[in-house]
């Protein structure tokens, strides 16, 4: 039997947080990360969850150069937040964050719009990646029946083309964790090839590198539409009651 790999209790990591999006689908008057839940911005909830984890030392936060909201938050004076300029797409914001990380073997990336991330899930991801010596992502198997959609010829409505086998489909969440150098190179190569990169794993996949799926909680939602705010509020309160926050 091989020796178990021990995860050092005090190993410290940096998390890149892309937060330069506008969040058009929220139909709000400000970028969604600045909407509030319980008098705290979504961005604050997310960053507080990350920085209160025992293995997370710093957050590299990518925000828009024209962002007028961040300066008004309490996060502005936090010495554990390194601010960088966000880019046009999420992947540009992530790459901008990776450029300031030089001496860390591993890096985590977490969406600003996922405030319900729990310490247990972060523990699980870090442990699984270190034990397997592989990049990985929090994810969950798809539970609904999945349909491939096509636009109908008659009008603008969408119709079902066919049902997709869901047995090997998973929802990809964040955090996602990879070797810093490999992720940086994978993103740069994908950009040269003109590939569409919607998460870090897509870049790693295109470079032919492995990525493990670490089963995560389904309440780690990405706030995307107005109804998600109420849900996130509920989950945050539930998690605090259950000491998961
Ligand atoms: O829009 P969506 O929810 O997919 O964005 C995911 C995350 O990426 C959000 O935290 C958003 O702020 C961030 N993002 C970014 N730069 C962009 C677009 C999105 O940092 N240009």
- Do 176 and 137 form a contact (C-beta atoms < 8 A)? yes
Split at pLDDT 50, 70, 90, the class of 152 is confident
Name the residue with the closest Cα to ligand 1, atom 7: 111
- Please state the length of the chain: 245
Interatomic CA distance for residues 115 and 244, integer angstroms = 12
Q: How many DSSP H helices and E strands does the chain contain?
A: 6, 11
Coil, strand or helix at 238: helix
What's the 75 CA to ligand 1 centre distance in angstroms?
Answer: 19
The pLDDT score that the predictor gives to residue 193 is 97
Handedness of CA 182, 185, 191, 195 (dihedral sign): negative
Predicted local confidence at residue 9, as pLDDT: 78
Residue 185 has pLDDT above 70, yes or no: yes
The per-residue pLDDT for 154 is 75
Which pLDDT score is estimated for 218? 98
Residue nearest (by alpha carbon) to ligand 1 atom 21: 89
Give me the mean pLDDT over the 2-14 stretch: 74
Q: Is residue 49 over pLDDT 80?
A: yes
Could you identify the atom of ligand 1 that is nearest to the CA of residue 223?
A: 3
Q: What are the angstrom distances between the C-alpha of 79 and each of 38, 41, 82, 99, 107?
A: 24, 18, 8, 19, 19
Using alpha carbons, select from 186, 183, 190, 178 the residue that is nearest to residue 136: 178
Q: Which residue has the tokens 């929220």?
A: 26
pLDDT of residue 1: 47
Ligand 1 environment, Cβ below 6 A: 18-21, 23, 33, 62, 86-90, 93, 111-113, 222, 224
Q: Who's near 74: CB < 8 A, 6+ residues apart?
A: 44
Cα distance between the two ends of the chain: 36
Mean pLDDT (whole number) for 134-146: 98
Answer yes or no: are the C-beta atoms of 111 and 47 closer than 8 Å. no
Give the 3-state secondary structure of residue 95.
helix
> Has this prediction a pTM greater than 0.85?
yes
Query: Of the candidates 223, 233, 243, which has an alpha carbon nearest to the alpha carbon of residue 173?
Result: 223
Per-residue pLDDT, averaged over 210-238, amounts to 97
Instruction: Write b or e for each residue in 148-158: b if 16 or more Cβ atoms lie within 10 A of its Cβ, otherwise e.
Output: eeeeeeeeeee
Question: How much of the chain exceeds pLDDT 90, in percent?
Answer: 89
pLDDT surpassing 50 at residue 104:
yes
Sign of CA dihedral 112, 117, 119, 120: negative
* Ligand 1 centroid – CA 92 distance (Å): 10
Indicate the pLDDT class of residue 26, thresholds 50, 70 and 90: confident
Spacing, Cα 20 to ligand 1 middle (Å)? 6
Asked whether the predicted pLDDT for residue 4 surpasses 70, the reply is no
Nearest CA to ligand 1 atom 3: 224
Find the 154 Cα to ligand 1 centroid distance in Å.
Answer: 34
Residue 176 has pLDDT above 80, yes or no: yes
Cα 10 to middle of ligand 1, angstroms: 30
């Amino acid at each position: 039997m091989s020796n178990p790999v021990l995860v050092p209790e005090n190993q410290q990591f940096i998390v890149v947080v892309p937060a330069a999006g506008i969040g058009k689908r929220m139909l709000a008057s400000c970028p969604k990360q600045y909407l509030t839940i319980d008098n705290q911005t979504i961005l604050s909830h997310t960053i507080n969850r990350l920085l209160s984890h025992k293995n997370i030392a710093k957050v590299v936060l990518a925000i828009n150069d024209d962002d007028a909201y961040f300066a008004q938050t309490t996060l502005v004076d936090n010495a554990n937040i390194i601010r960088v300029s966000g880019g046009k797409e999420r992947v540009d914001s992530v790459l901008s964050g990776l450029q300031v990380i030089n001496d860390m073997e591993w890096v985590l990336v977490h969406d600003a719009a996922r405030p319900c991330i729990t310490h247990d899930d972060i523990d699980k991801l870090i442990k699984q990646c270190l034990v397997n010596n592989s990049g990985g992502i929090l994810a969950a198997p798809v539970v609904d029946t999945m349909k491939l959609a096509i636009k109908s010829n008659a009008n603008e409505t969408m119709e079902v083309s066919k049902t997709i086998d869901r047995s090997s489909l998973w929802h990809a969440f964040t955090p996602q964790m990879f070797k810093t150098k490999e992720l940086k190179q994978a993103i740069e190569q994908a950009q040269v090839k003109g590939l569409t990169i919607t998460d870090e794993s897509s870049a790693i996949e295109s470079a032919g590198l492995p990525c493990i799926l670490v089963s995560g909680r389904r309440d780690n939602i990405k706030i995307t539409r107005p109804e998600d705010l109420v849900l996130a509020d509920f989950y945050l309160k539930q998690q605090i009651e259950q000491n998961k926050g």
